[in-house]
Amino acid sequence: MFTAPDFAYTPLATRLKYYMDVGDGDVAALEGIAYEERHVVRGETIFARGQNIEWVVLIMSGWAARTRYTRDGARQIVNFLLPGDILTPDAFVIRQLEHEIEALSSVTLRILAMTDMQAVLERANGLASALWWAAAQEDSIVREHVVRLGRRNAQERIAHFLLEMHRRMLVVKQAAENSMILPLTQAEIADALGLSLVHVNRSLSFLQKEGHIDRRNTVIQLLDIPRLAEFCDFDTLYLSLERQQQAAV
């Protein structure tokens, strides 16, 4: 059912190549950086709020999330971090993280020394702008999340969210054309979409009843993506920012 992952590239490289012209030299430079691998279990806090960030950290597999907590313990998931995402886009300038990063499933991380990364960035010309582009894409995704929370009802939020996750997983070859593994509980979806668990459940049932989706445990099928996109006003422009022709800096 699922296409085999493309083992030729790391998820980050796959993503960068999907959206941009990144030279093979740049990709090789990125993938050639010495790294340490770290495995994290579901529920574990990868980075705590206030923690010092001293490396560049990439997700190789699994799902994580940037989260914040309110005084009364409610959690808000600010963004999901999928294979190929960078946990630490601002590692070079920001000392302390102002949010938490939590593992939502088993996660494999690749940890690079900042000095190594810098050295490579100086050599691999297009890489710096490609990574900067990746950071800009995350910004755009978070902005779209604001719109989702501010201007859509529960059913639309969920539909829109599912389409985003599917698209992002597809890009890193971790989803099939019409289905994917969604390693989230309904409570986690609720924490992301500013809803209650109960209402997420009911809205999911609604989408199922309407023939938009089909769930079997963690496997979710999007039965008619154009129709679902129409239903929730999903437009992928925010994911596919165009990169500047001749990248500077």
Amino acid at 63: W
User: By the criterion CB under 8 A, which residues form the site for a second copy?
Assistant: 49-50, 66, 68, 70-72, 74-76, 78-79, 90, 92-96, 98-99, 114, 118, 121, 129, 132-133, 136, 139-140, 142-147, 149-152, 191-194, 233, 237-238, 241-245, 247-249
Distance, in Å, from the CA atom of 247 to the CA atom of 249, rounded to the nearest integer, reads 7
- Part in contact with DNA (CB under 7 A); list of ranges 52-60, 153-161, 170-178, 231-239: 153-161
Contact call for residue 185 and DNA (CB under 7 A): yes
Amino acid at 46: I
Q: Residue 32 CB: number of other CB atoms within 10 A?
A: 11
Tell me which residues in 6-25 interact with DNA (CB under 7 A): none
Contact call for residue 198 and DNA (CB under 7 A): yes
Contact call for residue 196 and DNA (CB under 7 A): yes
Q: Residue 38 CB: number of other CB atoms within 10 A?
A: 14
Among 96, 118, 153, 244, binds DNA (CB under 7 A): 153
- Part in contact with DNA (CB under 7 A); list of ranges 134-142, 195-203, 219-227, 239-247: 195-203
Q: Residue 242's binding partner, choosing from DNA, a second copy, none, with beta-carbon cut-off 5 to 8 A by kind? A: a second copy
Contact call for residue 154 and DNA (CB under 7 A): yes
- Please report the sign of the dihedral spanned by the C-alpha atoms of residue 163, residue 193, residue 39, residue 88: positive
Residue with tokens 């010309």: 125
Q: Residue 202's binding partner, choosing from DNA, a second copy, none, with beta-carbon cut-off 5 to 8 A by kind? A: DNA
- Please report the sign of the dihedral spanned by the C-alpha atoms of residue 68, residue 171, residue 152, residue 189: negative
| Residues in contact with 115: Cβ distance below 8 Å, sequence separation at least 6, in sequence order | none
